[in-house]
Structure 1
Amino acid sequence: MAALTKNHGVRFLDAGEDARTVVTPDFSTITIVAPADEANPSIFPLETNVHLYGDEADKIAQLGDAGEIGDAIDDLLSEGIAASILVRRVEKMETRNEQLGAIIGDPSDRTGLWGLLDARAQTLVRPGLVISPGFTNDSLVGATLVTMTAQGTGYSQATATFASAGAMVVPTGTCVIEDGKVIGVQIDNAGIGIVGAVTCTIAGDGEGATCTVATGPAANPVALAMSAVCKRLLAIGIVDGPNLDRTAAGLWAERLRRDDGRYLYPIDPAVRRFAVLDGSDDTILTRPGSTTVAALFAKRDRARAGPYWSPENQTSSGIVGTARPISYYDGEVDHEANFLVSTCGVNTFIEGKELFGSETLSNDTNWRFVNKVRTENAIRASLPGALRKWRGENFTAHNALMVVKTVEQFLDELVALGAVLGYTRYFDRALNPNANMRQGILRIELPHENTPILSDMQFGMRPYSPAFDILAADIQRALGGYDAITLAA
């Protein structure tokens, strides 16, 4: 061929390419972000992703007894699994507000939860299930609205000073002045951890301006940060509810429900586990449910060799009950477990041991079930690696076909597994204009439907009169020769 370089002799050329096999990464590594102030810093440095397995007892012992990480690992191991675990230790802080801030971290500095974005590069392990036990349950109260009760007169400048006894952080705000009047106060910082009334005093070169301050709960900031991080990681964050009552759980969940809520699996109430502490101190502890749930996710993944199924209906081996009783009755609608799942979108435990619910905190019903989200995560995480082979190859019809064949083979397998109900794929010419293709852009449409769980099994119950025909026939067979004439005689 004149188009190829000349050669005198024998050589071997790669004459064609075939579709590539797609390899699904592991989504079962449980990732804990929390303080552990007695940990050995040489093994578990602050703000560092460290990978370990549940059977590395010597390494786990170096976490010490203080802080949340050691207890969380005990919760995981009590479920009878030797899990793959990522630990990210944050600094132990003095106040609750500071501790939440340390766990959230800074997205620019990659600290706290945001540091998990570097986990795969640092450890070669993908964070699949993310927890921060005991730090996602708050609904922190802050200032929500300043209402002017009098605008005053003669102001060219004014300062708003907020006060609230016992607040972790006192709100701040800026006066808005127009025509010598304070027409409003803009809340710059809503404050946090407010436990009582908030007052606001206006001082300046005018007089008479007064206002009142309304307060209200806000979405848990750790859970919100976790949802954003998990979106980047294609992971699931398991978040603990307030552990108060069903109304509080529903309100807590509603504040978190949003687009990225599909990456959060909520659980309420807390659970109870028997813990061996130091000799006579053995006792039953109240523990965040997220650690137990993470273990059940990992257990189901290992049992079925993939992340495509809900962890629901598994019974816990490590808990002795829940922190408050949750009513449940088979075949009935009116019980607390159904209220939590169906009304609030909050998963729970029934009968003190069985995981009940497959809900996420998505505001899009298409991503209501956690198994659908994890299946989508697996698809989006798996395909790029397999399709990397075609990046940089010439844009030909054959190579485009091989890209599609690679996708087809993977989705065919997911359909066979029952993880995807069905799919189609096509080349839309209108979405592939010449100008785009000239720049090497290929767009393939890939509509598909991930398999939902079986959530609501309904049976239409009604009388069935043909059953009496069956009964009559049975009677005739039983009576044998006792026909009507014989009976009359």
Structure 2
Amino acid sequence: MTTNYHHGVRAHDMTQAPPIIRVGESGEIGIIGTAPGADAEQWPLNVPVAIIGDITKAASLGATGTLPIALKTIWKQYAKTSGKIVVIRVEELADPAQQISAVVGDVTLKTGVHAFRSANTLLGIEPDLLIAPGFANASADGKANAVANELISVAVRLRSFVIFDGPNTTAVDAVTARGNYGSDRAMMVDNYISEWDTGLDAEVQLPGSILAAGVQSKMDLEKGFWWPASNKPALINGTARVVDYRSNDSGCEANFLNSHDITTIIRDDGFRLWGTHTTDKEKLLGGTIVGRRVADKTYDALERGLMPYIDIPPSEQAIESIAGSVRGFLRDLRGKGALIGYEFEFPADLNSVQQMADGQYFYKLRFVEAASIRNIEIWGYRTPELYAEFLSQAAALSSFSSSAT
């Protein structure tokens, strides 16, 4: 209220729109790789570059390296809506160890995978699906992959999700390799896909993480971030390794991999991703990509949406306004199908006079995501007694026919 002297009546319209909590964009892919033939000015090393709505920009990457064909394969998965892709190009090196170091990068210099941390500042895009095809490959040698682990560390900072690849050898090797990881921000895909490389005029094998990221991005854009990419049609020419799948066989290879939290690619009325599990053994968020991402998107939206309440004077109206805004947001998520249920409250046992005097207010949120239907069982019973009904109907029909003649 103004303290300037005034003698008379003045009216001021102080109407303010209540803060609206919204989920930010989702389905943005972050990919890191090589492209030695790239235009260096358009694609500087270790600097995030965006592809938005027009894949023709990737033409200046050239035809060699891991990035060009990976981007084309991702883009092929989109249908109604084109995605946003953040591309990090690193130098292609002959020495394998030096190449891994280039992809891992430096946390202080923000090179390699750490360049994703600059994407929001430079591009206004924070990728939430991170892949490093050809470099983030799990092996069965008892050691975790350095690139996969570094991507996971970046994903924790960005609230993103990592999709990395298995060894693409055997199901047993894949299970052995999976044992080296335990993050709920990562999903392992084992087997590779086959695609036609127009640069080589030949069929090539590509990491399955490329397909998984593309299909998941498509689901985010067309359905919502709570829809998994599993059991959705994929546009690929084939798989590098055939994974046996039969719907009614819990012991088939695909189910064996899924039972060990490994996503695979099957052929069943076309090719499709099969599996939704993260590498989190504790399964604190349901152990699925849906649980992890619904939690991330919910917390992100709440943090952004409630910022207008910071540094305002406390009042009962403000306390209830915060609760009302959050409940409205959660109600909307439930209506869309992202949540099964929720509770939000301002509990007395979490708040004290000292805390409130210090400007700290604690709310309690309980929620659970709408986990995907994983299994349907039908229990059938052979019932000879049903012949009695059949006999009754047949007899009645016979009697009617006789009387009619």
Contact 1:327 1:336 in 2 (8 A): yes
Match of 1:253 among 167, 171, 178: 178
Q: Given the superposition, is the C-alpha separation of residues 366 and 454 from structure 1 closer, same or farther in structure 2, using an over 3 Å criterion?
A: farther
Equivalent-residue separation in structure 2 for 1:125 and 1:310 (angstroms): 22
How far is the alpha carbon of 1:108 from its aligned partner? 2.0
Contact 2:231 2:273 in 1 (8 A): yes
Contact 1:19 1:403 in 2 (8 A): no
When Rg is computed on C-alpha atoms for both structures, the one with the higher figure is 1
How far is the alpha carbon of 1:463 from its aligned partner? 3.2
Q: Which residue of 2 aligns with 1:312?
A: 230
Q: Given the superposition, is the C-alpha separation of residues 227 and 466 from structure 1 closer, same or farther in structure 2, using an over 3 Å criterion?
A: farther
Q: TM-score w.r.t. structure 2 length? A: 0.92
What do the CA deviations read for 1:126-162 (whole angstroms, capped 9, x no partner)?
Answer: 2121110011114385xxxxxxxxxxxxxxxxxxxxx
- The letter of the residue matching 2:229 is P
Identity percentage over the alignment? 24
How far is the alpha carbon of 1:422 from its aligned partner? 0.3
Match of 1:65 among 63, 66, 73: 63
Equivalent-residue separation in structure 2 for 1:102 and 1:447 (angstroms): 42
Q: Which residue of 1 aligns with 2:96?
A: 96
Q: Given the superposition, is the C-alpha separation of residues 18 and 467 from structure 1 closer, same or farther in structure 2, using an over 3 Å criterion?
A: farther
User: How many pairs align?
Assistant: 397
More deviation in 3-12 or 427-436?
Answer: 3-12
How far is the alpha carbon of 1:243 from its aligned partner? 0.6
Q: Which residue of 2 aligns with 1:225?
A: 150
- The letter of the residue matching 2:266 is I
Q: Which residue of 2 aligns with 1:49?
A: 48
Q: Given the superposition, is the C-alpha separation of residues 424 and 6 from structure 1 closer, same or farther in structure 2, using an over 3 Å criterion?
A: farther
How far is the alpha carbon of 1:474 from its aligned partner? 2.0
Contact 1:19 1:405 in 2 (8 A): no
Contact 2:110 2:117 in 1 (8 A): yes
Equivalent-residue separation in structure 2 for 1:265 and 1:477 (angstroms): 62
Equivalent-residue separation in structure 1 for 2:45 and 2:186 (angstroms): 25
Contact 1:240 1:266 in 2 (8 A): yes
SS where residue 49 of structure 2 aligns? strand
Q: How does 1:113-192 map to 2 (within 5 A)?
A: 113-139=113-139
Q: Which residue of 1 aligns with 2:250?
A: 333
Q: Which residue of 2 aligns with 1:477?
A: 396
Equivalent-residue separation in structure 1 for 2:263 and 2:361 (angstroms): 41
SS where residue 78 of structure 1 aligns? helix
Q: Which residue of 2 aligns with 1:271?
A: 193
Equivalent-residue separation in structure 2 for 1:470 and 1:10 (angstroms): 86
How far is the alpha carbon of 1:6 from its aligned partner? 5.9
Equivalent-residue separation in structure 2 for 1:69 and 1:274 (angstroms): 14
How far is the alpha carbon of 1:303 from its aligned partner? 1.7
What do the CA deviations read for 1:257-295 (whole angstroms, capped 9, x no partner)?
Answer: x2xx21112111001012222xxx522111111111111
Q: Which residue of 2 aligns with 1:363?
A: 281
Segments of 5+ residues of structure 2 without an aligned counterpart are none
- The letter of the residue matching 1:395 is P
How far is the alpha carbon of 1:465 from its aligned partner? 5.4
How far is the alpha carbon of 1:466 from its aligned partner? 5.3
What do the CA deviations read for 1:196-244 (whole angstroms, capped 9, x no partner)?
Answer: xxxxxxxxxxxxxxxxxxxxx2111111111121122121111111111
Q: Which residue of 2 aligns with 1:236?
A: 161
Q: Which residue of 1 aligns with 2:264?
A: 348
Equivalent-residue separation in structure 1 for 2:201 and 2:333 (angstroms): 47
Q: Which residue of 2 aligns with 1:458?
A: 377
Q: Which residue of 2 aligns with 1:321?
A: 238
What do the CA deviations read for 1:16-59 (whole angstroms, capped 9, x no partner)?
Answer: x56422221112111111122221111111110111235241x3
